């Protein structure tokens, strides 16, 4: 069984320029949610979370080509850009499924090497503060709860 995913990159640079890319359908434009995304070879990696509530970190890597250089020039080195990264699972025929994950990030900087352009982001929503309204999980919200620590999130 093959795993096929397409990521839709929707970046608004700090100067207001908008960049719409997808990384699966080579040399094709694909419409997702009514918006046309052109092909760009990029890879998103490094998203992680911790128990302490820090922002999750994401790196988006582009080859050192004109597309990536334009992103750096228009966005002040990727500072305070806004990224919506949508990951869509595909069927073997390349059709979109209902399995979709959308994440929101804010640009924190970038780096440039001879071969790679790295755009760095942090999650757009910061960890919760002490005055954030909390809810207690009980049976009325989630149904029967286990009596031990073996809770599995899916």
| Beta pairing partners, 104 | 84
Strands 79-90 and 5-12: antiparallel
Structure token digits, residue 111: 């780096």
Q: How high is the pLDDT of residue 2? A: 74
Instruction: Give domain limits for the chain.
Output: 5-125
Q: What is the residue-level pLDDT of the chain in tens, covering all 154 positions?
A: 577 899 999 999 888 889 999 999 999 999 998 999 999 999 998 765 555 666 778 999 999 888 888 887 777 788 889 999 999 998 888 788 888 889 899 999 899 899 999 999 988 766 555 555 566 656 676 666 666 666 665 5
Q: Which CATH class is domain 5-125?
A: mainly beta
8 A C-beta contact, residue 125 and residue 136? no
Query: Quick one: CA torsion of 95, 96, 99, 104, rounded to 10 degrees?
Result: 150
So what's the pLDDT on residue 8? 96
Phi-psi region of 114 (alpha: psi -120 to 50; beta: other; left: phi over 0): alpha
β 18-22/35-39 pair status: parallel
pTM for the model stands at 0.74
């Amino acid at each position: 069984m093959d795993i096929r995913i397409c990521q839709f990159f929707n970046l608004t640079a700090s100067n207001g320029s908008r960049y719409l890319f997808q990384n699966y359908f080579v040399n094709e434009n694909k419409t997702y949610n009514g918006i046309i995304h052109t092909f760009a070879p990029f890879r998103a990696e490094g998203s992680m979370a911790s128990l302490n509530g820090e922002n999750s970190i994401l790196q988006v890597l582009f080859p050192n080509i004109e597309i990536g250089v334009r992103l750096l020039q228009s966005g002040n080195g990727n500072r305070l850009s806004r990224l919506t990264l949508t990951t869509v699972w595909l069927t073997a025929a390349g059709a979109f499924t209902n399995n979709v994950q959308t994440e929101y990030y804010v640009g924190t900087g970038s780096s440039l090497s001879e071969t790679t352009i790295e755009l760095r982001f942090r999650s757009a929503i910061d960890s919760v503060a002490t005055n954030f309204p909390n809810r207690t999980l009980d049976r009325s919200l989630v149904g029967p709860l286990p009596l031990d620590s073996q809770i599995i999130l899916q």
